[in-house]
Amino acid sequence: MDLPISSQDVAYAAFIAVFFTWLIQTFSRVFKAVVGRATEFNYHPKNEEAVMERCFAMFPNREVRFNGSVFSRGMPVRVVTIRRRIIEGKIIGCNNDNVVCVITQNSVIAQGIDGIEKIDQIG
**pLDDT greater at residue 18 or residue 39:** 18
**Rounded CA gap, 58 and 33, in Å?**
24
Closest alpha carbon to 80 in 50, 36, 45: 36
Specify whether the CB–CB gap between 121 and 79 falls below 8 A.
Answer: no
pLDDT score of 114:
86
- pTM for the full model? 0.67
Quick one: pLDDT band at residue 107, thresholds 50, 70, 90?
very high
pLDDT exceeds cutoff 90 at 80: yes
Strand 76-81 and strand 116-121: the pairing is antiparallel
Cα 108 off chain centre by: 16
Could you count the other beta carbons within 10 Å of the beta carbon of residue 57? 8
CA-CA-CA-CA torsion for 8, 10, 15, 19, nearest 10 degrees?
140
User: CATH class for domain 38-121?
Assistant: mainly beta
Fill in the amino acid letter for 14. A
DSSP, collapsed to helix, strand or coil, labels residue 83 as coil
85-101 mean pLDDT: 93
* pLDDT confidence band for 82 (50 / 70 / 90): confident
Predicted local distance difference test score (pLDDT) of residue 23: 86
